[in-house]
Amino acid sequence: MLEKYRYNVARCARCGICRAKYSEKVHYVCPVREHTGGFEHYFSRGRVAVAAGILEGAIDYSPELVDVLYTCLGCKSCVEQCGSVDMRNGKSLVDTAKIVREMREDAIALGLEPKIMQELHATVSKTKNTFGGNLEEKNKLAKKFELPEKGDTIFFSGCYGVYRDRKEAEATIKILKATGAAPAYLADKEWCCGVMEYWGGNTKVARDMALHNLEALTTAGVKTLVTACSGCLDTIKDIYPEIIEDKLPFKVIHISEYLADLVEKGELKFTKEINKTVTYHDPCHLGRHARIFDAPRKVIESIPGITLKEMERNREASGCCGSGIGAVRALEPDLALAITNDRIKEAVATGAEVLTSACPMCVEQLTLAGRASKAKLEYINLPALVAEAMGL
């Protein structure tokens, strides 16, 4: 409920640093403002002003406003640029991604959820995954790699790893096995992490997913959860504690952190050189949300033969891939594509041959747009790149 953020909404100083910035790295802050009519309600300051208007009872939710709310990517570029800190808890004072999420939740409570989102959430509720796939697929994956259901280290595939980018999931499992992690896998007991439901404002479905997964994970004896999906990582690590109002009794890490640790210890063994220039796209949920910027770079740079070339906007200043946790892509495909194309252009401008990322959703979005625009790039998810260099 937006009411939870009344203090934060009121504390936005409306200074406008989220409107425009032009510096070495950041030429614009909000990609949505850049590719729409650019009115205040398309970027942070205006969105927060609208929230204030709702809280003051001056304006109402309407289908038109709901459409605008679902243009927010939740990428937190504005939050990063704002930089204001809530002195009470050290968190972002004006977290627009969260404020918009709460507005979406309230709009849903009023029966104003866009039809496409309703259908998506109904699919997740029914099939326990984003794509309406059969959970049996997860059992097949477990069987193929002989993964036990219980163990200290649990691999969390997420929906993308099973129903979209099987290469990513398989590469992650191979890496974990080859490096002695002995991963277990919940298989059909692993439900969607709830990332799209949470950020889409459907808290009820997100909560159902979270509570189920937490129980399944606890039963499986998890000590460390490893995932290759930045959405799953951030949701389980940061959102689940918020949902259960408690700390998690286990550690959640991204495969890039796991690998970076091995690189640090000199324990990651490669068998093949990859003589290519690579550029890395920071997924919003791994970067600005979960604050993991160094680990994937450390891993890429450790691969023999690879030269890493940074895009102009990188790390904290990275551009979003345009997917917006799938919601913007589903509801505003043209807007999403325009944003992705910006990122593709930046990748091409580095002169790199390969575009990699550490999130299957980003890789999919970038691949689709990049291929459509005939950009001369190869697209590969980080685990697949590492697995190739390890000869797996």
Partner 1 sequence: MNVVRVKEHHPLYSELSVIVGSKYTTDSDFAVWAYSRDSSPVPGKVPGIIVRPGSTEEVSEIIKLANITHTPVIPRGGGASIFGFPAGIPGRSIVIDTTRLDKLIEINEENMTVTAEAGIGVCELGTKLTEKGYYANLVWAPYYADTLGGLIGGVMGGGWSTRTQVVGPNANHILGMKVVTPTGGIIQTGGGPGTNVHRKTTFMRDGGGPDTTGLFIGDGGTFGIKTEITLSIYPLETVAKPRGFLFKSFDDIWSAISKLMAIEPFPYTNLVGLAPNATALFMSDPCWVLLCYTRGYEEEEVTTKIKVVDEVCKAAGGELGSEAIHMQASAAGTGEMYREMGKLASIGMWVFLETHVPKEDLPRLFNKYAELIDQRFEEKGIKEYGGIRMDVMLPVGHGECYLSTNVYWQVNVPEARKKVMEIADEFVNVTINDGLFATTAQRIPAGVTGANWSPSYYEFMRTLKRAMDPNNIINPGHWGL
Provide the minimum distance between the beta carbon of 118 and partner 1 in the complex, in angstroms, as a whole number.
17
CB of 80 or CB of 364, closer to partner 1:
80
Burial class from Cβ neighbours inside 10 Å (0-12, 13-18, 19+) for residue 30 reads: buried
Q: CB-wise, 165 or 332, nearer to partner 1?
A: 332
Query: With contact defined as beta carbons under 8 Å apart, do 354 and 46 qualify?
Result: no
CB 53 to partner 1: min, Å? 4
Select 46 or 322, whichever has its Cβ closest to partner 1: 46
Residue with Cβ nearer partner 1 (20 or 375): 20
CB of residue 23 vs partner 1: minimum separation in angstroms?
6
Residue 139 tokens, joined:
């059992």
Nearest to partner 1 of 88, 247 (CB atom): 88
Kind of pairing between the strands at 307-308 and 184-185: unpaired
CB of 373 to partner 1, least distance (A): 23
Residue closer to partner 1, measured from CB, 15 or 244: 15
Q: Which amino acid is at 61?
A: Y
Q: Closest distance between partner 1 and the C-beta of residue 170, in Å?
A: 43
Least distance (Å) between residue 140 CB and partner 1: 45
In the complex, what is the shortest distance from the CB of residue 251 to partner 1, in angstroms, rounded to a whole number? 31
Closest separation in Å from C-beta 317 to partner 1: 13
Estimate the crossing angle of helix 333-349 against helix 360-372, to 10 degrees: 80
Residues near partner 1 (CB under 8 A): 7, 10-17, 19-24, 27, 36-41, 45-47, 49-50, 53-54, 57-65, 68, 81-87, 93-94, 106, 109-110, 112
Tell me the C-alpha to C-alpha distance, in Å, between residue 166 and each of 126, 184, 301, 377.
22, 17, 24, 21
- Residue 36 neighbours by CB under 8 Å, 6+ apart: 42, 71, 335
Nearer to partner 1, 150 or 291 (CB): 291
For partner 1, which is the closer residue by CB, 63 or 180? 63
User: Residue 318 region, left (φ>0) first, then alpha (ψ -120 to 50), else beta?
Assistant: beta
- Say how far apart CA 48 and CA 66 lie, in whole Å: 14
Which among 310, 379, 306 is positioned nearest to 340, based on CA atoms? Answer: 379
